């Protein structure tokens, strides 16, 4: 049987299974908002762990990371720094966000920030930033899915059609079962993608080099330029190393699909255990990615730009059995879909809760908002597809761009979660975010990465300086609100911590 | 305007909190420039047949996971 038939068949089977999970999740829904948006705030450790890691690792981990090792060498092992930071951020900040969400019934990140800063301007600003930049992330995943289907079918299904099919499937199970469907499919996807990338890399390294150690020896001998920093093209300069470490940790954790996950944990112990252990999965997924990218640079040299992102599937098609190739490409599909569905869900939640429920139709039934959420998913699908077919770019560039936007929420979030010192004000927060956005425009487009430092970090520095200075002479949140919110954080961290 | 005074959460208040914070930051700095681009930036000596930079960073990352798990066990 030809490889493309097996690969396509396995992906179709996988997609059918996710649809079935969506239907089953639909039958378990209670119909209230928290159930549809937040899994009823009762996600246990295993489900939450797999949904967080599956949402964090995406098409980028499967395709972009191999491409990055291929092009820039061992410098991409910097990835370990941002996966470790994700764990630490979850442990320290995620636990506080969970506690506040539980105490005050927050559903979206903007709920928390608008409540503390007592400002609808903060709510709208945060909602807009959240949606604007994570739509880019939809594009990343959709592009990755298009690549995978296009490769799996040996070009028989076009990139655009592949993207559309997988977007529709993800939207279907999300509309059917809400966050429960997302979490259930993420469990499957999280396991499948991890096993797939490890098995694929190990098999390829034995097939092509006689084993992983021999692969490393070959790279050290034939491509020593890939073995040191800053890499053959000088990409991993110190500034870029630091910038990517911050951007791909804080910048991803502060995206709404990750923040909303913190609200859904069943208890504080779960979220802290999550923080301490997620780096194990996240970091070790890049070990096989190094084998794929570096080995690919030896056996299949000459791929450039977006073509380098295809190194893993290209190697599989040439050197692995059809069944293994099919199973691994289905794993790659899982990697992209698990992030895509999470972002679709988060954007739907933000638009429904922060915009529609707040400003368009405040006093409708919970069932009404669930229906509106489903309509918004369709709209997001159309926008995501449109962006995907009209823009093509290198995956990692898009990921860091979306991370740079979400990073601008950092001063505001720290202001809520870390009592002590002078509190930021609503004017300070809004002015800081706007200044950060303007700086992003300059440091990402007009004059990219000044002085070798990532534009997102420049945005964060300007944002923080403006937020602190404006806050120094504008009205702070009321003492009652500060006491209520910071008092809750104090009780959680230094009280009983339950 | 006057704001309610509360001890800062940016500074640890317990011995275990201090240990976890300092250990994480100190080890994390080993995985950051300039250490990565100078001291660690070499292939030789290889360790178990793998390049030095790769193994050194793996050891640092593993140590950081160890700090997080230690903090969890100590209830930090």
A423 contact B CB<8A: yes
Say whether pLDDT at B73 is over 90.
yes
Give the pLDDT score at A441. 86
Angle between helices A311-319 and A322-350 (to 10 degrees): 160
* Predicted confidence band of residue A59 (pLDDT cuts 50, 70, 90): low
Nearest CA in chain A to B14: A494
Q: What is the pTM of this model?
A: 0.91
Our CA-based measurement puts residue A185 at a distance from the nearest CA of chain B, in whole angstroms, of 27
A238 contact B CB<8A: yes
Cα distances (Å, whole numbers) of residue A460 to A261, A351, A354, B6: 24, 25, 24, 26
Our CA-based measurement puts residue A350 at a distance from the nearest CA of chain B, in whole angstroms, of 29
* Predicted confidence band of residue A388 (pLDDT cuts 50, 70, 90): confident
3-state SS, A67-98, equals: HHHHHHHHHHHHHHHHHHHHHHHHHHHHHHHH
Give the pLDDT score at B4. 58
Q: Which of A78, A213, A419 sits opposite B49 (nearest CB)?
A: A213
Q: What confidence tens digit (pLDDT) does each residue in A482-492 have?
A: 999 999 999 99
Which residues numbered 207-226 in A keep a CB inside 8 Å of some CB on B?
213, 216-217, 220, 224
B interface mutation test: which of A94, A229, A250 has the most B CBs within 10 A? A229
Give the pLDDT score at A391. 63
Q: How many CB pairs under 8 A join A and B?
A: 125
Rounded Cα distance, B56 and B31, in Å: 9
Which residues numbered 25-54 in B keep a CB inside 8 Å of some CB on A?
28, 31-34, 36-37, 41-43, 46, 48-51, 53-54
Contact A345, A179 (CB under 8 A): yes
Domain residue ranges in chain A: 3-392
* Predicted confidence band of residue A329 (pLDDT cuts 50, 70, 90): confident
Short-list A396, A454, A404, A453, CA closest to A433: A404
Under an 8 A CB cutoff, do A489 and B31 touch?
no
Under an 8 A CB cutoff, do A87 and B3 touch?
no
pLDDT, mean of residues B67-71: 97
Phi-psi region of A106 (alpha: psi -120 to 50; beta: other; left: phi over 0): beta
Give the pLDDT score at B53. 96
Q: What confidence tens digit (pLDDT) does each residue in A165-183 have?
A: 888 999 999 999 999 998 9
Give the pLDDT score at A496. 58
Nearest CA in chain B to A77: B54
Q: What confidence tens digit (pLDDT) does each residue in B10-34 have?
A: 889 899 999 999 999 999 999 999 9
Say whether pLDDT at A307 is over 70.
yes
- Helix segments in chain B, DSSP class H: 15-30, 52-74
Give percent above pLDDT 90 in chain A. Answer: 55
Say whether pLDDT at B1 is over 60.
no
Q: What confidence tens digit (pLDDT) does each residue in A390-414 have?
A: 765 545 555 567 778 889 999 999 9
CATH superfamily of the A3-392 domain: Sodium/glucose cotransporter (1.20.1730.10)
Say whether pLDDT at A137 is over 90.
no
Rounded Cα distance, A83 and A248, in Å: 8
Residue B29 tokens read as 């700095």
A277 contact B CB<8A: yes
A interface mutation test: which of B2, B9, B35, B63 has the most A CBs within 10 A? B9
Say whether pLDDT at A377 is over 90.
yes
Domain residue ranges in chain B: 23-74
Give the pLDDT score at A46. 95
Give the pLDDT score at A245. 92
* Predicted confidence band of residue B3 (pLDDT cuts 50, 70, 90): low
pLDDT, mean of residues A466-472: 96
């Amino acid at each position: 049987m030809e490889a493309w038939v097996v690969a396509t068949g396995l992906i179709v089977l996988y997609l059918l299974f996710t649809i079935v999970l969506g239907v089953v999740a639909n039958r378990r829904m209670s119909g209230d908002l928290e159930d549809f948006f937040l899994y009823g705030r009762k996600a246990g450790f295993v489900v939450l762990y797999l949904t967080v890691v599956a949402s964090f690792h995406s098409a980028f981990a499967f395709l972009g990371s191999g491409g990055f090792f291929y092009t820039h060498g061992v410098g991409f092992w910097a990835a370990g720094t941002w996966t470790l930071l994700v764990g630490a951020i979850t442990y320290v900040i995620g636990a506080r966000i969970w506690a506040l969400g539980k105490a005050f019934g927050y559903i979206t990140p903007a709920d928390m920030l608008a409540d503390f800063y007592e400002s609808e301007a903060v709510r709208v600003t945060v909602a807009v930033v959240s949606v604007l930049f994570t739509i880019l992330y939809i594009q990343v995943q959709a592009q990755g899915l298009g690549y995978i289907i296009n490769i799996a079918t040996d070009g028989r299904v076009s990139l655009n059609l592949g993207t559309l099919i997988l977007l529709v499937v993800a939207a279907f199970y999300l509309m059917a079962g809400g966050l429960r469907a997302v979490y259930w499919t993420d469990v499957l996807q999280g396991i499948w993608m991890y096993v797939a990338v490890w098995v694929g890399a190990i098999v390829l390294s034995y097939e092509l080099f006689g084993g992983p150690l021999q692969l490393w020896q070959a790279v050290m001998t034939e491509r020593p330029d890939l073995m040191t920093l800053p890499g053959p093209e000088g990409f991993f300069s110190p500034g870029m190393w630091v910038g990517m470490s911050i951007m791909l940790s804080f910048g991803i954790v502060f995206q709404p699909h990750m923040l909303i996950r913190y609200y859904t944990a069943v208890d504080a112990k779960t979220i802290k255990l999550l923080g301490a252990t997620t780096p194990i999965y996240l970091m070790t997924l890049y070990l096989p990615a190094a084998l794929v990218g570096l080995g690919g640079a030896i056996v299949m040299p000459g791929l450039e730009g977006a073509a380098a992102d295809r190194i893993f599937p290209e190697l599989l098609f040439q050197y692995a059995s059809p069944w293994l190739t099919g199973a691994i490409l289905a794993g790659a599909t899982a990697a992209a879909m698990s992030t895509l569905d999470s972002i679709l869900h988060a954007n739907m939640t933000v638009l429904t809760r922060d915009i529609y429920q707040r400003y368009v139709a405040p006093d409708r039934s919970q069932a009404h908002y669930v229906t509106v959420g489903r309509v918004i998913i369709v709209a997001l699908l159309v926008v995501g597809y449109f962006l995907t077919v009209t823009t093509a770019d290198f995956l990692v560039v898009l990921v860091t761009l979306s991370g740079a936007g979400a990073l601008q929420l950092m001063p505001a979030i720290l202001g809520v979660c870390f009592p002590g010192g002078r509190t930021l004000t609503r004017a300070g927060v809004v002015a800081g975010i706007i200044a950060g956005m303007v700086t992003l425009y300059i440091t990402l487009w007009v004059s990219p990465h000044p002085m070798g430092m990532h534009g997102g970090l420049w945005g964060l520095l300007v944002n923080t300086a403006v937020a602190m200075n404006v806050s120094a002479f504008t009205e702070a949140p009321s003492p009652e609100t500060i006491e209520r919110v910071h008092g809750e954080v104090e009780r959680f961290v230094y009280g009983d911590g339950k | 305007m006057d704001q309610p005074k509360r001890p800062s959460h940016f500074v640890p208040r317990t011995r275990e909190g201090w240990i976890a914070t300092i250990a994480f930051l100190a080890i994390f700095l080993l995985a950051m420039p300039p250490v990565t681009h100078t001291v660690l930036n070499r292939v030789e000596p290889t360790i178990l047949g793998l390049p030095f930079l790769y193994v050194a960073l793996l050891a640092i990352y593993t140590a950081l996971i160890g700090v997080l798990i230690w903090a969890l066990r100590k209830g930090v």
